[in-house]
Amino acid sequence: MTTTSSAPGKVYLFGEHAVVYGEPAVPCAIERRARVTVTERDDDRLRVDASDLSIEGFTVEYGGSTDERPAVDVPPSLLEAATGYVDSAVAQARAAADRPDAGFDVEIESEIPLGAGLGSSAAVAVAGIDAATRELGVDLDAREVADRAYRVEHEVQDGEASRADTFCSAMGGAVRVEGDDCSTLDAPDLPFVVGYDGTGHDTGELVAGVRALREEYGFAADTVAAIGDLVREGERALEAGDVEELGRLMNFNHGLLSALDVSARTLENMVWAARDGGALGAKLTGAGGGGSIVALDDGDGVETALSLTPECAETFRAELATAGVRAE
């Protein structure tokens, strides 16, 4: 038997980085998905085919213990991208099914660039857990998949993860996350435009950098708290359907993230190009350090402006993904 699940990526309206410290965040799922196909083996080994992860693909096979690392001649960061989240997701599926020795062939396909701030790792973890548990005859509801996927990110990111990305990917739509309190939100189909600079980043390193600033400077801690206050204001604008106010608050949020030193020249140039192109608001999305920006624009001005920006490798309109994790 073979089982496939998919899960969407995400953009942040508000709140990345601050959500790690218990402040609220509002991510929105977008209709770009990761698909994970799982086939149970008759031994306890894992075979991971990462032929389509917006990276140079390869296939590895290794022993049944997820503590083992495959011996292949690739850079460590590439290896981690292809196997780290899968290892932990498989461990979660084995635990959920009480099948500690289950082996799998795992194939990963993704429309979400790795390390781009669009939730690739969360989507792979969510889809991987859902597919592997269903392959073993266990159906988990979306909230349990989200909880187990959060444990994956928490482990792989050395305890620095929040529940935001995995909950958003599992549930779909717009969500609110504040600590362990996760809920879905009613939201219009906001006119998202995404710009991507073609680079990736190390989320853990960027989160650790904000933590160091926050511990060293009181005003950095105040900046994190100010992002939380901004998110609460943004929730009211979202509830009222006030897209212009959402845009103003996105601009404000970007400035606070820049103050926390998680922006980059490529992101700044894309943000300003989007604003010059008529965006109601534009900000980086995700951990920063490179990757993606998200803008609000119901015309074609932002897409045109970004397509003419040298730092922008790809731009696309992103529809809200109303469905989270699902069987394919």
**Coil, strand or helix at 162:** coil
Amino acid residing at 318: A
CA 307 centroid distance within chain = 23
Task: Name the active-site residue from 87, 130, 147, 165.
Answer: 165
| Of the candidates 188, 180, 205, 279, the residue with the CA atom closest to the CA atom of residue 241 | 188
Q: Checking phi first, is residue 113 left (phi over 0); if not, alpha (psi -120 to 50) or beta?
A: beta
Active site residue 165: yes
| Of the candidates 271, 259, 265, 111, the residue with the CA atom closest to the CA atom of residue 194 | 271
The structure tokens listed for 261 are 């030193």
CB 129 within 8 A of CB 152: yes
Number of H helices, E strands in the chain: 9, 12
The structure tokens listed for 306 are 């970004």
Q: How far apart are CA 184 and CA 180, in angstroms?
A: 13
For β-strands 46-52 and 104-110, DSSP reports them as parallel
CB 119 within 8 A of CB 291: no
Measured CA distances, 38 to 49, 146, 224, 262 (Å): 10, 18, 40, 36
Measured CA distances, 135 to 36, 41, 201 (Å): 12, 11, 32
Decide: residue 248, CB within 10 A, 0-12 exposed, 13-18 middle, 19+ buried. Answer: middle
Catalytically active residues are 165
